[in-house]
Structure 1
């Protein structure tokens, strides 16, 4: 009975202690212990697990100054959603179930931290402000203020951040752990404000109170990088050595030692052999297998300082071929190649393709992505026009040769391709190193000399070429030799163009790697009828003008721009672009201090009414260009209002005076069209028709040209043969309105201009999948999945997959080659029905299309995917 009574009494007091209402010593003790070692402890554990996951998901970029706080990717937060939800639930229990414990404020801090990670920033700020005002625990208050400071810095609210810094500077008894966080957040504050001295001072203080060895190594590395870039090599050397202590991750230790040697010896050493041997030894070290691309990259930078450009290029190419471990390193390698070819070799075409490769290894959120993307847009325009001009020029030269000369060139091209393929096979053989046990095997030895056919790439390539010479490009099928009408003919039974891969003898991008074109298909690409030749000439005319403009306005190469523009005037004397060419040449001469009088005279004599002529006669200051645009826009609106009110004289005066005073503004094309409409009201129809035709020929604004064509049709009653380009009529903001008949025509017409895209089903085709920015992350491994898809379904087609940053907001995935449209469409049907990839939704798959090589050149130039999609749906 006594034992039972004692147990009941103990149970009674225990139950009293569990109450969250009674504030007694027993209650507080129970709730403090239970909250700390149950709900709060578990919630904190979950958050730390999530933070470790955030850290693992981020890859440090040691070639750049490391950020004080590494950025947290939203995808990483989403991947840890379950952990954070569990932590939120546990922290909530610590507050609800243990309200009188001393861990309530700590639990509130965890809730604010979860809100911060989940981007519920306002809730996090409110939580930390609440803790600052209401918490009696200095430790928690300081933690909350430091986290609040970090949020304000991220939001660039520097006034609020300064207030928090000032408040914390007056606080006493800040713990060592909170001091470390405070100094680190101060360094972040100065980093965002680009105040390097502040960052260095804050990090130095932070290191003094940091106990975590990895964190200390990382902060030392950042300080070393800052000192190195500031030119204080001795200080940088000391911090790099400090960074390599404390058993940091291997990559951090590697870069610390590498950069320590650079600032101590390599940069100052005059013994070039010693420096090169140092990099060679690093490369040979087996511990650095995953970082060999870094070693080659650093050695290439060293060679560039010695003006050994060709050696540096070779090293960078080798670095690009190394597997590597750091994703961004490949981006820097290709970026450096792009810079070399841009700045030193002035090979803008090569620079463009290196930039394409570089951007594949950077994310849109990276600091250099926007700059590289803008530069690439310029180089894209240059390359598209350069390749078009080069290819068309070669095709026209071929068209002027005799059939015998054309055949000889085709044969030489095929022979060159054979040699290239064999050279590639030899290179692959040379890259195969003998295995460690090869000498012990019956057929051991280097693979390049192997007697076994399928172990020798060179022999396999030779066999493939010999097969192609005899039988052509045949698909795998049973009994094809017996069913072939040309069986027994070992002289080369050339397949038709429909069954073979069409390849241009000029453009390397159009050739099919690993598949030889036959002579017939090469010869078929040569233009023969006058219409084809005329079309090529028109394209060259446009390309020369665009190259001149890109080189002058964007690439600042006046000499090269002048050359293309004078070629335009020489080879296309009747060009519709002459006025713009004259004007651009006028600007070039003005820029370079040459004589502008010749081009001013030409413009006044040949194009007296052109806005370019008005511009050279009444130049507008660059400083007043914004004001000119605003004034012209205001005058246009007034003139249009007068036109609607049938006050044609006032409207005419306004348009004429504006065009004379501000000849080249953003509304010039609209002003010109309004002026032409006024001509229709005030002058004879012949003059009205003449001005409309001239406007259509010389204006590039597609929407306004469509409207002008509709007016011309309404005037003459004659419709041209129309080829539909777009299914929707164009809506123009504050568009010019015509009379009811003209307005109806503008709405009904689907476009009367010459068709941009031409249907040629027998030409080589490409399959294209458009990828929008929001889908880039989900489709990261798409190329690899497609390779598996090809291996399974198109093993004998030798399809290639590639990515291209098409515009600033879109990239495209290309699969090629398909010898004709039917094969490309067969591939697309199989892709839509059988290709499965989790990150690729069905609606994105359906946006795929196929396009001929010729049309792709137009698409790459116009950058209007929606326009081509309409053509694709109506033509395929």
Structure 2
């Protein structure tokens, strides 16, 4: 009975202690122990395992300045969802089941960390704020505030971040662990604000509180990189040497040693042989077998500094072929090749293809990739037109030959391709070993240079080509297979089979790229329609290439050459007035005979806008000119509809003489043609309309001109006039447009922005710091808006700091201004986001990539908004 009574007492004590309602010493002790060593400990362990997995999966790019914090990889977080869900459940139990324990606030902190890792920023924010406001544990409060600071920096909420920094700076008794986290987070804050000195200062303080040698080594390496970037080589050298302490990963040790040598000796050494020997030794070191591309790349950069460009190019090509552990480095290698080909040789075609190669190794959301895409936009157009000219010129020449001559050219091409394939096989062939014992092993397959047929690449290549000459590129199969195929064909219906590659289908892979005579002859244009299409493409490419070279690539001589070729080959081209004008500008810039083109414009196209421009070279231009020409157009339009046709003509001509090339020019020219219909003959009116339709690019104005022309045409002419897509435009809309434009603000005449509606555009929402902080859910709302309205558009959303006063949100890409305007209208009508003022929506705008580069330099949002309202609205 005594034993039973004792046991009962123990059971009653335990049961009583399990209660989370009674706040007694026994209860608190039980709940503290259970909460700490069961729920909290297990949850914390699982979170740390996930964080360690993020660090392990991250591949450091030592060729670039390392980030302060290793980025959180969403893919790794998704892979560990079950582990984080389990940690969340344990932390929740620690809160629900052990409410009187002292580990409740710690568990709330863990819940905030889980939310932070899973990208649930608002929930994480609330959790950290709650811990800071309720916890009596000073160390835990500091930890929550420091993590909250990192979250504010992630969200670019710098005002809140500044307040948190100020608050923490006044706190006392901060533990070493928290001091390390605080200084590292401060370095991250300065990193996002591109404050180099701030990052260095914060990391220098953080390294003194580093928890282990590995973390200390990484911070020393970052400090060394940043000092090297600032040109402080002596400090960089010291920190690179310090980063070698603590048994760092081999790759970091390699780069620390390499860069330390660079800042200490290689860059300053006059003994070039010694430097090159150093790179050779690194290359031969077997420990560096996965870093050979780095060694060759760094050697190439060294040779570039010595001015040896041919050797630099050779080394870069070698580096691209070397094995390596960092794919992004290949992207940097191709980017460097593009830079040299552009800067040294003006080889736009090679530059474009090197940039294409770079993008295959750099992720599309990487800042380097975005920079490459911007640079590549013009080069893509250049290469397209150059290659189309080369191809169509060749086809045009071949098309003028007799069928026998065409066949001879095709056969000659095939023979040269055969010779090339054999030469490639011979280049890959290993030299034959003359050892008699190896010759005896001809059938062993061990001797790559064996005389055995199937071990001889050159013999295989020649045999395949000879087979192709006799039998064609047919599948290789035995007689029984052909008989079986014949039997099946004659007795069973044919069933479509999936396409196979050359190896599985029996087709000889050696001949995969060897064209047949029939396929080559089939590409030659022989019908009048094909030849007309070919010449139409040539005409357009010569013109577009001339424009591109003059305006975008600033290459005047090649621009002149292409435009003169256009006029010589296609003297009746509808692009002739603009080509004359571009030649006038090009010859004027290069000190040539530009007056000849002014004379041609006056003789051949006296009423062209380009003629008005060359006759008045000092006329105003830019947005102010557009605004003034809008006023002139409105006055002339009113005079026309009042029946005062001569005054309307005088106003049109006066406006064109004062402002010859604005976005209102085509409207003014059409109004002048309408006056012609009232004052001159029917034939003159018809001729001017036909010329206008052929030369005008605005589809709405072209449609209006067609409507005017139709009553004067026969049924056959009407059929030829019909556009592929009809665009109905009310002529009165032109006056309304002019009046609306006239209501805009006066724009400075020297605006830096250009109108290029065909270029890629981006959409921009600009906010002040306080507005950005209030619009907490803007990014999420934008993504939901895109998912609902543009599910297949692949729109990307991001944000950046335009200046210390403004943050901008960017939506991209849009193929041209028209697509961007469609999005703008939809956004203005339907988009909603809590905390986003209505005036922010009305001040949003879209902008071409070229103009965005200008805006990003000037930071003057209002200047661009004025341009935007005048040009696009």
1:842-853 aligned within 5 A = none
Q: Is the 8 A contact 2:699 2:727 kept in 1?
A: no
Q: Is the 8 A contact 1:139 1:175 kept in 2?
A: yes
Report the 3-state secondary structure (helix = DSSP H, G, I; strand = E; otherwise coil) of the residue aligned with 1:449: coil
Q: Is the 8 A contact 2:338 2:352 kept in 1?
A: yes
Structure 2: any 5+ residue segments left out of the alignment? Answer: 484-509, 736-790, 797-811, 816-873
Find out whether 1:331 has 2:341 as its counterpart.
no
Q: Is the 8 A contact 2:465 2:511 kept in 1?
A: no
Question: Could you tell me which residue of structure 1 aligns to residue 581 of structure 2?
Answer: 583
Q: For 1:193 and 1:700, locate their aligned partners in 2 and report how far apart those are by CA, in whole Å.
A: 44
Question: Could you tell me which residue of structure 2 aligns to residue 558 of structure 1?
Answer: 556
Find out whether 1:358 has 2:383 as its counterpart.
no
Distance 1:513 1:42, change over 3 A: farther
Q: Is the 8 A contact 1:228 1:236 kept in 2?
A: yes
Distance 1:240 1:645, change over 3 A: farther
Distance 1:326 1:5, change over 3 A: same
Number of matched pairs: 716
Question: Could you tell me which residue of structure 2 aligns to residue 490 of structure 1?
Answer: none
Find out whether 1:450 has 2:450 as its counterpart.
yes
Aligned with 2:570 (options 568, 572, 575) = 572
Distance 1:290 1:432, change over 3 A: farther
Deviation, structure 1 residue 386? 0.5
Deviation, structure 1 residue 693? 1.4
Question: Could you tell me which residue of structure 2 aligns to residue 217 of structure 1?
Answer: 217
Q: Is the 8 A contact 2:795 2:813 kept in 1?
A: no
Question: Could you tell me which residue of structure 1 aligns to residue 171 of structure 2?
Answer: 171
Distance 1:482 1:217, change over 3 A: closer
Q: Once the two structures are superposed, what CA deviation does each residue of 1:344-370 show, in whole Å capped at 9, x if it has no partner?
A: 122211211111111111122211112
Q: Once the two structures are superposed, what CA deviation does each residue of 1:466-503 show, in whole Å capped at 9, x if it has no partner?
A: 111222222456659999xxxxxxxxxxxxxxxxxxxx
Distance 1:163 1:717, change over 3 A: farther
Find out whether 1:277 has 2:277 as its counterpart.
yes
Greater CA deviation, 465-474 or 406-415? 406-415
**TM-score after normalising by structure 1:** 0.73
Aligned with 1:689 (options 686, 690, 693) = 686
Q: For 2:330 and 2:433, locate their aligned partners in 1 and report how far apart those are by CA, in whole Å.
A: 24
Q: Is the 8 A contact 1:224 1:235 kept in 2?
A: yes
Report the 3-state secondary structure (helix = DSSP H, G, I; strand = E; otherwise coil) of the residue aligned with 2:145: helix
Distance 1:180 1:731, change over 3 A: farther
Distance 1:293 1:407, change over 3 A: same
Question: Could you tell me which residue of structure 1 aligns to residue 242 of structure 2?
Answer: 242
Q: For 1:720 and 1:457, locate their aligned partners in 2 and report how far apart those are by CA, in whole Å.
A: 65
Q: For 1:556 and 1:149, locate their aligned partners in 2 and report how far apart those are by CA, in whole Å.
A: 48
Q: Is the 8 A contact 2:349 2:383 kept in 1?
A: yes
Question: Could you tell me which residue of structure 1 aligns to residue 64 of structure 2?
Answer: 64
Distance 1:73 1:279, change over 3 A: same
Q: For 1:14 and 1:635, locate their aligned partners in 2 and report how far apart those are by CA, in whole Å.
A: 95
Q: Is the 8 A contact 1:448 1:458 kept in 2?
A: no
Question: Could you tell me which residue of structure 2 aligns to residue 297 of structure 1?
Answer: 297
Q: For 1:262 and 1:69, locate their aligned partners in 2 and report how far apart those are by CA, in whole Å.
A: 26
Find out whether 1:538 has 2:533 as its counterpart.
no
**TM-score after normalising by structure 2:** 0.73
Q: For 2:609 and 2:532, locate their aligned partners in 1 and report how far apart those are by CA, in whole Å.
A: 28
Distance 1:107 1:403, change over 3 A: same
Greater CA deviation, 76-85 or 2-11? 76-85
Deviation, structure 1 residue 243? 1.9
Find out whether 1:599 has 2:604 as its counterpart.
no
Q: For 1:262 and 1:476, locate their aligned partners in 2 and report how far apart those are by CA, in whole Å.
A: 58
Q: For 2:640 and 2:141, locate their aligned partners in 1 and report how far apart those are by CA, in whole Å.
A: 69
Question: Could you tell me which residue of structure 1 aligns to residue 113 of structure 2?
Answer: 113
Q: For 1:159 and 1:329, locate their aligned partners in 2 and report how far apart those are by CA, in whole Å.
A: 37
Q: For 1:655 and 1:530, locate their aligned partners in 2 and report how far apart those are by CA, in whole Å.
A: 42
Distance 1:68 1:722, change over 3 A: farther
Distance 1:265 1:445, change over 3 A: farther
Deviation, structure 1 residue 732? 8.5
Distance 1:195 1:253, change over 3 A: same
Question: Could you tell me which residue of structure 2 aligns to residue 781 of structure 1?
Answer: none
1:354-503 aligned within 5 A = 354-401=354-401, 406-430=406-430, 447-476=447-476
Greater CA deviation, 581-590 or 681-690? 681-690
1:139-150 aligned within 5 A = 139-150=139-150
Q: Is the 8 A contact 1:300 1:312 kept in 2?
A: yes
Question: Could you tell me which residue of structure 2 aligns to residue 615 of structure 1?
Answer: 613
Distance 1:478 1:35, change over 3 A: same
Q: Is the 8 A contact 1:177 1:209 kept in 2?
A: yes
Q: Is the 8 A contact 2:338 2:355 kept in 1?
A: yes
Find out whether 1:700 has 2:697 as its counterpart.
yes
Q: Is the 8 A contact 1:42 1:90 kept in 2?
A: yes
Distance 1:271 1:692, change over 3 A: same
Q: For 2:730 and 2:323, locate their aligned partners in 1 and report how far apart those are by CA, in whole Å.
A: 52
Distance 1:475 1:60, change over 3 A: same
1:426-825 aligned within 5 A = 426-430=426-430, 447-476=447-476, 514-528=512-526, 531-592=529-590, 596-618=594-616, 625-629=622-626, 659-669=656-666, 672-673=669-670, 676=673, 685-702=682-699, 704-705=701-702, 708-709=705-706, 711-713=708-710, 715-716=712-713, 718=715, 774=794
Question: Could you tell me which residue of structure 2 aligns to residue 46 of structure 1?
Answer: 46
Over aligned residues, Cα RMSD in angstroms?
A: 3.9
Q: For 1:84 and 1:272, locate their aligned partners in 2 and report how far apart those are by CA, in whole Å.
A: 55
Q: Once the two structures are superposed, what CA deviation does each residue of 1:125-184 show, in whole Å capped at 9, x if it has no partner?
A: 233233333322221221222222222222323222222211111111111111111111
Q: For 1:74 and 1:540, locate their aligned partners in 2 and report how far apart those are by CA, in whole Å.
A: 49
Report the 3-state secondary structure (helix = DSSP H, G, I; strand = E; otherwise coil) of the residue aligned with 2:466: helix
Deviation, structure 1 residue 661? 4.4
Question: Could you tell me which residue of structure 2 aligns to residue 826 of structure 1?
Answer: none
Question: Could you tell me which residue of structure 2 aligns to residue 829 of structure 1?
Answer: none
Q: Is the 8 A contact 1:426 1:448 kept in 2?
A: no
Q: For 2:177 and 2:438, locate their aligned partners in 1 and report how far apart those are by CA, in whole Å.
A: 59
Distance 1:13 1:92, change over 3 A: same
Q: For 1:71 and 1:522, locate their aligned partners in 2 and report how far apart those are by CA, in whole Å.
A: 53
Question: Could you tell me which residue of structure 1 aligns to residue 157 of structure 2?
Answer: 157
Q: Is the 8 A contact 1:410 1:523 kept in 2?
A: yes
Distance 1:668 1:100, change over 3 A: farther
Structure 1: any 5+ residue segments left out of the alignment? Answer: 484-511, 739-770, 777-806, 811-876
Q: Is the 8 A contact 2:442 2:450 kept in 1?
A: no
Distance 1:306 1:122, change over 3 A: same
Question: Could you tell me which residue of structure 2 aligns to residue 817 of structure 1?
Answer: none
